Amino acid sequence: MNSPQTLILLDIDHTLFDATEYRKRVFSELIEYLLPHQSENGIEIAENIYKNLREKGYFKISLFLSELSESLGIKTDEDLSYFFFSKESIKQALFIDVLPTLTTLCSNKDITLGIFSGGQEDMQRKKIEAIKHLLEDKHIHINEVNKFDDIPELAQKYKDKRLIVVDDIPEILDIFKKNNENVITVYIDRHQRNEKSALKPDYHIDNLENLITISE
């Protein structure tokens, strides 16, 4: 009997994409454009708005820009969202091990790569544009409201595959495991926080290269 096809579902932010460094770069360029002589104070304001929005849900560019303009007392009809879609900023934020690791994984005909992410869909898809040729579009799942809601359905959808889920949030992995005990859960800790948790994923890694061995 043939072994089941392996499907690896990858999170985007803090797994494939350095969202922290990307945000710092974009906020710096955006505030320098809006407040060329007060950029330091403006960046702090932008960070606080971002944190407040994230506490309420996923980051929405339009809402952020609206609140930023109001906080800075700046009125503009210009669409400033292009700062977030800058090819250079996005390219620089993709972790260095992503492209070579995913290329190696794709060289195995028994492995398919997909995405399981939350956030504004057009922004999330832009972040993975450089690796989209390595992904299978039908396995790209992006929830703009709450990705937790999709876990039970996906865990069952792929129950006939050898499913590997990679995420930087242990709770995500734990819910996958509760909905399908055969799921292989991989916690990626890019910043080596080593936070103590009662949740125990199958693997704990700090770089993507470890996936090559895990997937064998």
Q: What is the DSSP string of 42-88?
A: HHHHHHHHHHHHHHHSS--HHHHHHHHHHHHT----S-GGGGTT-HH
Q: In the chain, where are the structural domains located?
A: 6-17+95-214, 19-90
Which residues have CB under 8 Å from 68's CB, separation 6+?
30, 45, 46, 49
Report the side by side order of strands in the sheet with 6-10: 140-143, 111-118, 6-10, 162-167, 184-188, 203-205
Q: So what's the pLDDT on residue 63?
A: 94
Rounded distance, CA 136 to CA 114, Å? 6
Interval 22-45: pLDDT, tens: 999 999 999 999 988 777 788 999
pLDDT band at 1 (very low <50, low <70, confident <90, very high): very low
- Tell me the mean pLDDT in the region 163-173: 96
- Tell me the mean pLDDT in the region 185-202: 82
Amino acid at 104: T
Rounded distance, CA 164 to CA 183, Å? 6
Instruction: Note whether 71 and 64 are within 8 A (CB).
Output: no
Predicted structure pTM score: 0.92
Does domain 6-17+95-214 fall under CATH 3.30.70.370? My reply is no
Interval 54-99: pLDDT, tens: 998 889 999 999 999 999 988 888 899 999 999 999 999 999 999 9
